[in-house]
Amino acid sequence: MISGTLLRDAVISGANAIINSKRAVDELNIFPVPDGDTGTNMSMSISAAAKELEKLPEGESVSRVADLAASALLRGARGNSGVILSLLFRGFSKGLKDIDHAGGADLANALTLGVEAAYKAVMKPTEGTMLTVARVAAEQARAAIVRDDDANHVWDIICKAAEEALETTPDLLPVLKRAGVVDAGGKGVCIIFRGMQSVFRDNIIVAKADESDVLTGVSDETFRNIVGQFDEVINFTYCTEFIIEKENDKDPLELRAFLETIGDCVVVVDDDEIIKVHVHTNSPDKAIGQGLTYGSMITSKIENMREQHKNAGNQGESSAPKKLEYQEPVEELGFIAVAAGEGLITLFKDLGCNHVVSGGQTMNPSTDDILAAVQATPAKTVFVLPNNKNIIMAAEQVVPLADRRVVVLPTKTIPQGIAAMLAFDPDAGIDENSVDMFVAAEKVDTGLVTYAARDSEFAGKKIKENEVLGLANGKLVFTEKDPVKAAVRLTKLLTKRDSAFVTIIYGNEVTDKQAEEARTQIQQRVASDVEITVIDGGQPVYYFMISVE
């Protein structure tokens, strides 16, 4: 039988095991782009549970330990692999409910419940992943208890079955076979199970490696890019927003072209009855005056960004993000977005987001990070825009945790998130906005220019570390040596005959000169009759994010 103390130590041991092996698991990722790698996400997720369990005294029941582990892991879950891992442990909390000591049948039932929850949470479960590894382990465990209810013996079978299933993952997923690797998430599950076995069988907690190697799982430079705030370069003084009720047939493209001559960060949305405008300019009167030639003003907002920046400096605000405070839900609607980069954070706030959760491709925020932002938004309904496919599941876990309604719009990219925010109609209902914002996001084609994080072979092509990569709607389409050339090629691939707008968002490793060069080449070689907007996003990882509408 397994006691609560043994289960506590086993989870801590499993966490230490994956922490020690996270880099090896990360290297199994076949897609070469820098991302929130599987080993890093799984180790950070289960570490949240281990930290809580370390505070737990001796003598607690199995039920109490499982509940605490599941709750902490759910809140600390990062990335899809972290969320799936948390769901496996949630099954443990349900299967071990009201149990003081667990036998083999209890463990098999608990793992089975976790597998069922994980499969239900994934919209399109794919075999050959960590889901397969956990499922096969649970099936073998249930078969074993017919002969033996010994907890140690059943856990031995779980570990062995998981590792055997891991070896079959390349046969189930051809992309793994071509790369010559097993599934990274499945490998992580096996490592955690073996770490737990060390306690169940030998009462030995796997020792954790040197802390200095496991703090973030990302490079110091990337970490600073994500969590650090740098002095903002302000080219124009006033952030100007307004909504016009259309009263004539004038072409909004002309308004957009005019605003480009007096400012930057221009966004113009033409709906059937209204025009929404966002621009940074030194002449808000001219922006609004030109807007009034299209119809009547509905709403407007002008903010002095230089004054805000100066006040922030005078108040000695820390570069570290402030802890968010709980807000009573008194307003009807609020918005949360996930983004990294000062320009993007400012843009999302300008578009109406109450909070922007720091994070993105290389550092996926936890469920708790997103929950904190939701609870700090004084609204009865909060829309959440993850803006990354590896953050959507973590955002969805917030829904049952929050004390207010949470609507997760499954935006997979920053351009999709921007399009969704621009499609919001304050006069429409929540359900109508949910549909319209999602449809607007789906209409956006996204191009991403980044770099290869490692040497790899993908789609039959050998890729060198640091080589420039072009991704069209998430698919790797070519490699390049120069980011600007990649941006031009990518825009050409994405632009169609009916494309009207191209937005170029450049990152913190791209100069203003390079961004302007990209704009010029795209205008000349790709889309001479398409309106092009350039925004300094300041984002890490991506040289360029390109939106084509």
Residue range 9-29, pLDDT digits in tens: 999 999 999 988 887 888 887
pTM for the structure as a whole = 0.74
Among 64-73, 250-259, 342-351, 387-396, whose mean pLDDT is lowest? 250-259
224: pLDDT strictly greater than 70: no
Q: What is the pLDDT of residue 458?
A: 66
Q: What is the pLDDT of residue 211?
A: 40
**Tell me, what amino acid is at 208?**
K
Task: Match 């060198």 to its residue by tokens.
Answer: 464
pLDDT tens per residue, range 475-486: 888 889 999 999
> Cα–Cα–Cα angle for 348, 338, 344, nearest 5°?
40
Cα–Cα distance, 97 to 90 (Å, whole number): 11
Return the percentage of the chain with pLDDT > 90, whole number.
Answer: 52
225: pLDDT strictly greater than 60: no
pLDDT tens per residue, range 419-436: 999 999 999 999 999 999
Task: Match 């897609």 to its residue by tokens.
Answer: 31
Q: Going by C-beta distance under 8 Å and a sequence separation of 6 or more, which residues neighbour residue 254? A: none
400: pLDDT strictly greater than 50: yes
Q: What is the pLDDT of residue 214?
A: 26
pLDDT tens per residue, range 460-476: 677 887 889 999 998 88
Q: What is the pLDDT of residue 221?
A: 35
46: pLDDT strictly greater than 90: yes
Q: Which helix (H) or strand (E) is 258 found in, with range?
A: helix 252-262
What are the two backbone dihedrals, phi and then psi, of residue 235, each rounded to the nearest 5 degrees?
-85, -30
What band does 312 get if pLDDT is binned at 50, 70 and 90? low
- CB burial of 181-220 (b: ≥16 within 10 Å; e: otherwise) equals bbbbbbbbbbbbbbbbbbbbeeeebbebeeeeebeebbee
Higher pLDDT, 317 or 154: 154
Q: What is the pLDDT of residue 452?
A: 84
Q: What is the pLDDT of residue 244?
A: 86
515: pLDDT strictly greater than 50: yes
Q: What is the pLDDT of residue 434?
A: 94
Task: Match 């109450």 to its residue by tokens.
Answer: 354
Q: What is the pLDDT of residue 311?
A: 64
Q: What is the pLDDT of residue 34?
A: 63
Cα–Cα distance, 392 to 408 (Å, whole number): 8
Question: Within 13 Å of residue 126, how many CA atoms lie on the same side as its CB?
Answer: 16
Among 3-7, 47-51, 446-450, 452-456, whose mean pLDDT is lowest? 452-456
Q: What is the pLDDT of residue 131?
A: 94
**Domain architecture of the chain: domains with CATH:** 4-208 (1.25.40.340), 238-442 (3.40.50.510), 445-548 (3.30.1180)
Cα–Cα distance, 420 to 446 (Å, whole number): 13
Cα–Cα distance, 77 to 79 (Å, whole number): 7
97: pLDDT strictly greater than 70: yes
482-501: average pLDDT: 91
Q: What is the pLDDT of residue 62?
A: 93
Q: What is the pLDDT of residue 464?
A: 83
What are the two backbone dihedrals, phi and then psi, of residue 468, each rounded to the nearest 5 degrees?
-75, 135
447: pLDDT strictly greater than 90: yes
Q: What is the pLDDT of residue 524?
A: 87
Q: How many helices (H) and strands (E) does the chain have?
A: 20, 16
225-230: average pLDDT: 29
Q: What is the pLDDT of residue 222?
A: 32
Mean of the per-residue pLDDT values for the chain? 85
275: pLDDT strictly greater than 50: yes
Q: What is the pLDDT of residue 216?
A: 30
Q: What is the pLDDT of residue 315?
A: 52
Return the percentage of the chain with pLDDT > 70, whole number.
Answer: 90
Question: Following DSSP, what letter does each residue of 440-461 receive, concatenated?
Answer: HHHT-EEEEEEE-SS-EEETTE
154-158: average pLDDT: 94
User: Under a CB-based contact definition with an 8 Å cutoff, are residues 395 and 357 in contact?
Assistant: no
pLDDT tens per residue, range 313-362: 555 444 445 678 999 999 999 999 999 888 999 999 999 999 999 876 66
Q: What is the pLDDT of residue 85?
A: 94
Q: Going by C-beta distance under 8 Å and a sequence separation of 6 or more, which residues neighbour residue 185? A: 38, 42, 81, 84, 129, 130, 133
Q: What is the pLDDT of residue 276?
A: 82
Among 298-312, 441-455, 527-541, whose mean pLDDT is lowest? 298-312
Cα–Cα distance, 352 to 348 (Å, whole number): 7
Q: What share of the chain is helix, strand, coil (3-state, %, to 5)?
A: 50, 20, 35
Closest CA to 34 of 439, 444, 454, 507: 454
What band does 280 get if pLDDT is binned at 50, 70 and 90? confident
